[in-house]
Amino acid sequence: MATGERLRPYALAALTALLLALSVALAVPFLPALTWGVALAIIAWPLNSWLRNRITANRTCAAVVASAVVILLVAIPSGYVAQQVAREVSSSTEQAQQEAVQGALRERLLATPVLRDAVAWAERPEVNLEGEAKKAAREYLGNGMWLARGSVAILLQLAIAIYILYYSLRDGDHFLRAARRLLPVTPEEADRVFDRAGGSVHANLYASLVTSAINGVNAALLFWATGLPAPILWGVVVFVVSMLPVAGIFLIWLPAAAYLALTDHWGGAVALVAWGVGSSVLVDTLLYTWLAGGRMRLHPVPALLSFIGGLALFGASGIVLGPAILAVTVAVLDVWHTRATNNPLPPVEGATSAGTT
């Protein structure tokens, strides 16, 4: 009996570890929805609190209104940009087809020294680019089930993100009280951890908005200066696309530079390439990490590593998860340091999340 009693804690620990691992496995497929649902809830928490205090004491009504505001702020610009981009792409495609029929596109390619050899290679009798392109398109897009599954997966992630956003706003204070009870730290130490986590989300989304705005304004001015069509529209597109940490403005400036090169506007093409590379290094990397690291109270070097490492490990969700993990790690190390030195924790510097309001 004594041996069995001694083994009970170990059996309970093993069972707990197994259940935690299974819970993580259940959540991993919905990591993007979980990440962005919670991140948007942290950003919208001041609005939710204001609604509770000034408009309605009903937390359900406040959460519904705050969630609707967030969804509209995200959906309206994204939908507008998607519609305008689709229209521009359709117009450009029609123009390219007309030029191809008239032979103007081929003449432009032949007039470009860098592309002249590529045109000659593509026009050899044994090379059938059109046939290979059609074959690749059939293999890539011919499976309707693949497209359906992709669309359903995206819609499911969006639905779960909205679901998490709503309940995080409605019951966020209850969730955090439960987390405080489960964490093996004092309430003051838990507030420190939650403040760091919420601060990292605010810092990274703030840095993303600032750098995206800079990229958007610069893109609009450069498109206008080089004579590209719809500079204001493409400036807005660059602002939205800059929020994507993986693709970024590369999707915009590379085709635009190629178009300018094909139309013999080499100065504009070089300027676009220089701007794209410079923005990636100076704005999207150095300025971003300086802004985010400053608000997270971290040196730019670990802030940059957490951002890049988060992207490599978690994909697009890493823009939030990477810095948040680092911020929480620093907070936990602060707890260990204060316990080892018997020094009290400094007061939390303001409320950055639902846990500190």
* Identity of the highest mean pLDDT range in 81-95, 173-187, 332-346: 173-187
> Residue 107 — pLDDT band, cuts 50, 70, 90?
low
> Residue 271 — pLDDT band, cuts 50, 70, 90?
confident
> Residue 143 — pLDDT band, cuts 50, 70, 90?
low
What pLDDT digit, counting tens, does each position of 171-219 carry? Answer: 888 888 888 888 887 878 888 888 888 888 888 888 888 888 888 888 8
> Residue 350 — pLDDT band, cuts 50, 70, 90?
very low
The pLDDT of residue 68 is above 90: yes
> Residue 355 — pLDDT band, cuts 50, 70, 90?
very low
> Residue 352 — pLDDT band, cuts 50, 70, 90?
very low
Supply 84's token pair. Answer: 């305008």
What pLDDT digit, counting tens, does each position of 243-269 carry? Answer: 765 556 777 777 777 777 776 677 877
> Residue 67 — pLDDT band, cuts 50, 70, 90?
very high
Helix (H) or strand (E) holding 14: helix 2-27
160 closest CA partner among 69, 31, 61: 31
Arithmetic mean of pLDDT, 78-100 = 63
Query: Which amino acid, 100?
Result: A
Question: What are the start-end ranges of the H helices in 51-186?
Answer: 59-102, 104-111, 113-122, 129-141, 144-182
Arithmetic mean of pLDDT, 16-35 = 87
Instruction: For residue 297, count other CB atoms closer than 10 A to its CB.
Output: 14
The pLDDT of residue 115 is above 60: no
Arithmetic mean of pLDDT, 334-355 = 64
The pLDDT of residue 298 is above 80: no
- Whole-number pLDDT of residue 246: 52
Angle subtended by helix axes 288-296 and 318-341, to nearest 10: 40
- Whole-number pLDDT of residue 164: 92
% helix, strand, coil for the chain, step of 5: 85, 0, 15
Supply 271's token pair. Answer: 């300027």
* Identity of the highest mean pLDDT range in 65-79, 228-242, 275-289: 65-79
Sequence-distant (≥ 6) Cβ neighbours of residue 312 within 8 angstroms? 318
- Whole-number pLDDT of residue 127: 46
Helix (H) or strand (E) holding 50: helix 31-50
Sequence-distant (≥ 6) Cβ neighbours of residue 66 within 8 angstroms? 44, 47, 48, 51, 169
Cα–Cα dist 74/67, whole Å: 11
- CA distance readout (Å), 301 to 39, 286, 307: 23, 10, 10
226 closest CA partner among 277, 263, 279: 263
Indicate the range of 208-217, 275-284, 342-351 predicted with least confidence. Answer: 342-351
pTM for this prediction: 0.68
The pLDDT of residue 132 is above 60: no
